[in-house]
Amino acid sequence: MNLNDFTELYKPKIDIEIRNFLNKKIERVEYDFLADYYTEIQNYLLAGGKRIRPLLCIATYNTFSEFKDETIVIPSLSVEFLHNASLIHDDILDNDDFRRGEPAFHFRFTEYHKKYALEKMSHREFGRDLGILGGDSTFFLGLEPLIDNHFSPQLNQQAISYYKSVFHELCEGVLMELDFVHQKETSMENYIKMVSLKTGALIEKAMLIGATYAKVSPELIPLISDYAINLGILFQITDDIIGTYGDEEITGKPTDGDIREGKKTALLISALEKLESPDKKQLIALIEQKQMTENDVKTVRSLFSKADAIKECNQLAKGFYQKAKQSLDKLKPVATGSEFPIFGELLDFVLNRKH
């Protein structure tokens, strides 16, 4: 089975279960505002997204389990809820009012505040507060599919342990990224650690939850983890490149955003490591500015080019691609499910993607 066929088969099932799960919440509450609140969580989750994490959870289960059934779909929802909880909070931290071309969760309630002419606080404050609560709620909602399913309590307990641990890893990754903002420069080693926590850890735990329910042998767990973490790092490096050099019509995002924010992307870190004074000093001075002109952005791009930052980052990405591929090669002899090729196909897609 290839990646497209697998996605077309399981993504609708995931979306149906998300809708059903939240419909039960909406029907249970007896207060209109709570019904509106859960409806907005439902709308937010179903507004878009590739469902990569639950799909990886399901693919891991199907690859290594002796049983092929759809009981894994319910617990796979957990990582999608957690992923969206992190996005809800990220949009507040980044002051982003839109996500996937739709209003961010907190911005939905900013508009709700305006619609009903609430006067006790500003609409921005109201949206922010509901966003904080919404992220928290969505995280805890994600625990329920790991409790109420058809698997044994022992397997559920291990899955819950992974779920709890990745929440802390995500927070630590975000904390590192926030700290990078206040540093003139950071090392590529620190960057890799940060993206391992912020991006790689949730991919890893999605696969380990699937492996748990498949009763995978303990000696295979490190190989699954290595693949997932390296896939996450690869994804973030390519995301950084696309964020600055991608096609805006395809990505739907401005390509100067990371530069204007002074974000410590793989490109920026690579350039700072390669450039010598006075170029390095000029680059640091530019990214520390609160407001950048178009000419400033062009200068940053030219300094990236001078440092061969794109080439360096592409080589770095290929290194993590190879590490993930090596883990797959070691897993191949024991992978019995027809879904196993999906993992290699996903690696190729992430390495070569344009959006």
pLDDT band, very low/low/confident/very high, at 155 (cuts 50, 70, 90):
very high
Has residue 334 been placed in a domain? yes
Q: The pTM is what? A: 0.94
Q: Residue 121's pLDDT is what?
A: 67
Q: Residue 116's pLDDT is what?
A: 63
Cα 41 from Cα 154, distance rounded (Å): 30
Task: Give the tens place of pLDDT for each residue, 191-202.
Answer: 999 999 999 999
Task: Give the tens place of pLDDT for each residue, 214-251.
Answer: 999 999 999 999 999 999 999 999 999 999 999 887 77
CATH number, residue 163:
1.10.600.10
Has residue 277 been placed in a domain? yes
Q: Residue 12's pLDDT is what?
A: 97
Q: Residue 248's pLDDT is what?
A: 83
Task: Supply 315's token pair.
Answer: 């080589």
In the chain, DSSP assigns E strands to 98-99, 102-103
Domain ranges, residue 124: 3-347
Q: Residue 104's pLDDT is what?
A: 83
Q: Residue 127's pLDDT is what?
A: 85
pLDDT at 252 over 90: no
253-to-17, 152, 243, 249 alpha-carbon distances in Å: 30, 44, 8, 8
The residue to which tokens 């995002």 are assigned: 253
Has residue 355 been placed in a domain? no
Residues ≥6 apart with Cβ < 8 Å to 130? 37, 105, 106, 109, 112
Task: Give the tens place of pLDDT for each residue, 64-86.
Answer: 998 877 999 999 999 999 999 99
Has residue 49 been placed in a domain? yes
Alpha helices in 182-308, H assignment, sequence order: 188-195, 201-213, 221-245, 248-251, 257-261, 266-274, 279-287, 294-306
Cα 195 from Cα 229, distance rounded (Å): 9
Has residue 114 been placed in a domain? yes
Has residue 353 been placed in a domain? no
Q: How many domains does the chain have?
A: 1
Per-chain mean pLDDT for the chain: 93
Has residue 352 been placed in a domain? no
pLDDT at 262 over 80: yes
Question: What percent of the chain is modeled with pLDDT above 90?
Answer: 80
Has residue 354 been placed in a domain? no
Going by C-alpha positions, the residue among 45, 51, 67, 66 that lies closest to residue 6 is 51
